[in-house]
Amino acid sequence: MSTGNGLPCEVAWDVLRSTSNPVWLVDHVGALLWANHAASSYLGLDGGDVASKNLFECLPRDKAQHRRLMLNAARRTNESVEFVDFHQRWWQVSIRPTDHRDVFVFWQRDIGRQLQAEEDLRRSLMRAVTIQEDERRRISRDLHDETGQAITGLILELRELSRQLDDGDLRQRADRAAAMATSLMKQTRGLLHQLNPPSLKSKSLVAAMQDYCALFSERTGVRVVFDGAAAPLPSSDDRSTTLYRLLQESLTNVARHSNASKAWVSLAADDGEVTISVEDDGVGVDGDIVEGGGLRGIRERFALLDGHVEVHVGSGRGVRIDGSIPTMPPAARLDREESPL
């Protein structure tokens, strides 16, 4: 793209002139050396005024200050600097050094449609997650109202049959069948709690997590130490549910794979972010952990809310799963009227 003196060749000049994206050439202090039509229009300048202007004098003060810092960074490192900013529209901005000493290219690309498409996709995926949670609640109700009642009736019938039987062997078989049905009922109740935890709707996130940790310890024999947070936690259902689902998935993996005797769960909120950590004293794994569909799904749910999940492993030292999620909706909303920079 450059000639021997570091300036763009004629073909490149034609491309830069005709593009609808603003492009400037500036020196090390921001003096305009050249601008295409889109760049002149962006600054409200006529083509003939460009050479007498400084880019930073044509921008709002906060934008000028930020771009000056970025230009200095590009000059100091001799590397490109890129960032996203808002000025009337959302722009991806790039500052690139050229082969010519102290000449830099400012290039901007309108990414409003891209951000809108990404936001539309995020909302669609969030609706899918909401539908999934609604389906879990429906299945939970069906299990409770139909399956649960049927198992309860079966237990009562088997116990009554046992009392009426004279044959000792048949009575023992009826008792064993009743015990099996009772065990099935306990498993069903655990599944109901997994699908639709009642405490998450009626209690705070901290209290709901405490309840689940206690239930998990009772069911598996793994002691769980829970450390809740005094700081404000997210009140929205999607964030609370996402954090709760990470707790469920993490402790399920502890029960299935870790051979642990103890687990630690911590929940904290600070600087606009909620963090959760689940760690066990199990056997750990050698090498990279192989993630199942459950953990992948949790990662996706966190990503939809601008959060992230990390898995830390160590041979013989257990596994720790950390999740982090903002307490507020994502900051980069298209309806914002000021730059986040």
> For 165-204, where are the alpha helices, taking DSSP H only?
168-195, 198-202
Confidence (pLDDT) at 330: 53
Per residue in 174-216, pLDDT tens?
Answer: 889 988 988 888 877 777 777 777 666 677 888 888 888 988 8
- Number of residues written out for the chain: 341
* Cβ pair 118, 330 in contact under 8 A: no
Distance (Å, whole) CA 131 – CA 272: 27
Domain 10-110 architecture = 2-Layer Sandwich (3.30)
Q: Which residue has the tokens 């549910």?
A: 241
Per residue in 81-118, pLDDT tens?
Answer: 988 887 777 888 899 998 888 899 988 888 888 878 77
For the stretch 187-195, contacts whose Cβ atoms lie closer than 8 Å and that sit 24 or more positions apart, written own/partner, are 188/143, 188/147, 188/148, 188/151, 189/148, 190/215, 190/219, 191/143, 192/140, 192/143, 192/144, 192/148, 194/248, 195/136, 195/137, 195/139, 195/140, 195/143
* Mean pLDDT (whole number) for 244-273: 87
Per residue in 149-167, pLDDT tens?
Answer: 888 888 888 888 888 888 8
Distance (Å, whole) CA 136 – CA 143: 10
Q: Which residue has the tokens 């909120």?
A: 269
Q: Reply yes or no on whether the pLDDT at 232 is more than 70.
A: no
Q: Reply yes or no on whether the pLDDT at 340 is more than 60.
A: no
Q: Is 200-327 in CATH node 3.40.50.720? A: no
* Contacts for 151 with CB less than 8 Å, ≥ 6 apart: 181, 184, 185, 188
What share of the chain in percent tops pLDDT 90? 14
As given in the structure block, the two tokens for residue 104 are: 């830099």
Confidence (pLDDT) at 339: 39
Return mean pLDDT, the chain. Answer: 79
What is the C-alpha end-to-end distance of the chain, expressed in Å? 31
Confidence (pLDDT) at 288: 52
Residue 53 is given by DSSP the state -
Confidence (pLDDT) at 150: 85
Buried b vs exposed e over 164-189: b needs ≥16 C-beta within 10 Å? eeeeeeeeeebeebbeebbeebeebb
H or E element: which one contains 82?
strand 81-87
Of the candidates 139, 113, 106, the one whose C-alpha atom is nearest the C-alpha of residue 40 is 106
Confidence (pLDDT) at 218: 87
As given in the structure block, the two tokens for residue 273 are: 């972010």
Of the candidates 4, 43, 14, the one whose C-alpha atom is nearest the C-alpha of residue 26 is 43
Within 154-272, strands assigned E span: 223-227, 262-270
- The more confident residue out of 65 and 146 is 65
Per residue in 43-76, pLDDT tens?
Answer: 877 655 676 788 888 888 888 888 899 999 999 9
Buried b vs exposed e over 17-52: b needs ≥16 C-beta within 10 Å? eeeebbbbbbbeebebebbbebbbebbebeeeebee
Distance (Å, whole) CA 108 – CA 210: 50
Q: Reply yes or no on whether the pLDDT at 315 is more than 60.
A: no
Q: Reply yes or no on whether the pLDDT at 304 is more than 60.
A: yes
Give the confidence band of 332 by pLDDT, cuts at 50, 70, 90: very low
